[in-house]
A and B are shown apart, each in its own frame.
Chain A
Amino acid sequence: KAGVTQTPRYLIKTRGQQVTLSCSPISGHRSVSWYQQTPGQGLQFLFEYFSETQRNKGNFPGRFSGRQFSNSRSEMNVSTLELGDSALYLCASSLEAGGFEQYFGPGTRLTVT
């Protein structure tokens, strides 16, 4: 069974631009969660989607948004990029909602210049 895939793997953007990251979960998994990893803050929860509905949202500004499609694929968007948004963005999938037994993708490394 194929694992979680994320595209693109690397991205360089300029301050003020926006970016969209994509995540395809493991086949049959209906829950997708997103995390941001930085050296200073560690791994922080962004949001969780289940059956196209956002179940939980972490403590991030409204510039961070996401959505989930009917095939469980998910995208997250960051608008008006800031230097501090440079991070590794990780997507995880699980069978059911609630964060149980999550499997992570390889991540998208975003650099904002």
Chain B
Amino acid sequence: GIQVEQSPPDLILQEGANSTLRCNFSDSVNNLQWFHQNPWGQLINLFYIPSGTKQNGRLSATTVATERYSLLYISSSQTTDSGVYFCAVGGNTPLVFGKGTRLSVIA
């Protein structure tokens, strides 16, 4: 099955800093999503981005499907950005999740 690797596993940032989270996957996919899991466990959709680039406020994402990776950029981080960020991929198959990047933003 598809393997998904996320890096780094943990990240600590000072408020206001920028960061890049990476997701590598082992096979061709036509479905890729980024999620933020808040401290209460809710998975919040950030991007549906099987290819290309999207931006939403301080967050943006880029997927290069031919090279099998996706990047999530967080700019001017805030304490509310803390939590775990998951990348999930699929190809007309159930989503396979990475292990996540745990982000802690310190004031």
A and B co-occur in one complex: yes
B94 with A103: CB separation less than 8 A: no
Residue of A nearest to B92 (CB): A98
A109 with B33: CB separation less than 8 A: no
Task: Tell me if A58 is interfacial: C-beta within 8 Å of chain B.
Answer: yes
Choice from B41, B94, B99, B100 contacting A56 with Cβ under 8 Å: B94
> Number of A-B pairs whose CB atoms are under 8 Å?
56
- Cβ contacts B17-53/A at 8 Å (1 or 0 each): 0000000000000010101000011111100100000
- Cβ contacts B46-66/A at 8 Å (1 or 0 each): 001000000000000000000
- Cβ contacts B70-107/A at 8 Å (1 or 0 each): 00000000000000001010101111110110000000
Please report the C-alpha to C-alpha distance between residue A109 and residue B100 in the assembled complex, in whole angstroms.
19
- On chain B, the number of residues with a Cβ less than 8 Å from chain A's Cβ atoms is 21
What is the size category of the interface that chain A forms with chain B? 20 to 34
Choice from B31, B43, B45, B100 contacting A90 with Cβ under 8 Å: B43
Task: Tell me if A42 is interfacial: C-beta within 8 Å of chain B.
Answer: yes
A43 with B41: CB separation less than 8 A: no
- Cβ contacts A72-113/B at 8 Å (1 or 0 each): 000000000000000010101000001111111111010000
Query: 10 closest pairs, A vs B, by CB?
Result: A104-B43, A43-B97, A45-B94, A98-B92, A101-B48, A99-B90, A107-B41, A99-B95, A106-B42, A99-B94
